[in-house]
């Protein structure tokens, strides 16, 4: 279904449910905790594990927390780190394109709306991945690497490979991405 409809419906139901049971509504699109967690956790982990030898970071944008927090941290360590975000080919709103296919398979991304805390200045490039590419890379990761991931993780790997092949980040780059979902629901 259209991601915008899905998000509005889910947010409304979550708010309603939290109110009914006196629960906590996380509000992932407006809650800065995700950005801060990736700024304090994912970014430093990548920096440490690669000994500061990072050419690029690639991540799909769901609520934006992973991309914003991690990119901000990495660029503070080295402003030359190339940060690219990934969107489904038919729902490239962050890149400034109209929605042509809101019913993509890359769940958890491409909701067809501007994200409340999005920081365009962190983005060096907007990359797109088609449904066919996400499906193919999901299968490749399972068969060749033994990684049972979902479509958004597959899209991240596909986009990272596209970036490497483009030559924009030099020879023998070190590109970090995240495998952010499991294949269990597919």
The answer to whether 41 and 65 are in contact (CB under 8 A) is: no
Q: What is the pLDDT along the chain (186 residues), one digit of tens a residue?
A: 455 666 677 778 888 888 889 888 787 778 889 999 999 999 999 999 999 999 999 999 989 999 999 999 999 999 999 999 999 999 999 999 999 988 889 988 887 778 889 999 999 999 999 999 999 999 999 999 999 999 999 999 999 999 999 999 999 999 999 998 888 877
Tell me the backbone φ, ψ of residue 173, rounded to 5 degrees.
-75, 155
Q: 56 has which bridge partners?
A: 82, 175
pLDDT score recorded for residue 26: 81
Query: How far apart are alpha carbons 61 and 76 in whole angstroms?
Result: 20
Domains recognised in the chain with CATH numbers: 32-177 (3.40.50.1100)
pLDDT score recorded for residue 1: 44
pLDDT score recorded for residue 2: 52
pLDDT score recorded for residue 53: 97
pLDDT score recorded for residue 96: 94
> Containing H/E element for 127?
strand 125-129
Query: How far apart are alpha carbons 130 and 168 in whole angstroms?
Result: 21
Question: Edge to edge, what strands does the sheet with 56-60 contain?
Answer: 125-129, 82-88, 56-60, 175-177
């Amino acid at each position: 279904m259209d991601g915008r409809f899905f998000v509005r419906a889910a947010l409304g139901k979550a708010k309603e449910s939290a109110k009914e049971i006196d629960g906590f509504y996380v509000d992932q699109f407006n809650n800065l905790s995700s950005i801060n967690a990736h700024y304090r956790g994912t970014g430093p982990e990548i920096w440490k594990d690669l000994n500061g030898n990072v050419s690029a970071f690639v991540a799909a944008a769901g609520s934006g927390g992973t991309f914003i927090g991690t990119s901000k941290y990495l660029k503070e360590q080295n402003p030359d780190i190339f940060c690219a975000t990934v969107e489904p080919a038919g729902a490239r709103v962050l890149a400034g394109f109209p929605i042509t296919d809101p019913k993509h398979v890359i769940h958890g991304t491409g909701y067809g709306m501007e994200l409340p805390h999005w920081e365009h200045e962190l983005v060096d490039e907007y990359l797109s991945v088609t449904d066919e590419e996400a499906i193919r890379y999901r299968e490749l990761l399972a068969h060749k690497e033994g990684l049972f991931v979902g479509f958004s993780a597959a899209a991240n790997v596909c986009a990272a490979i596209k970036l490497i092949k483009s030559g924009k980040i030099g020879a023998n780059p070190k590109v970090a991405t995240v495998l952010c979902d499991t294949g269990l629901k597919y």
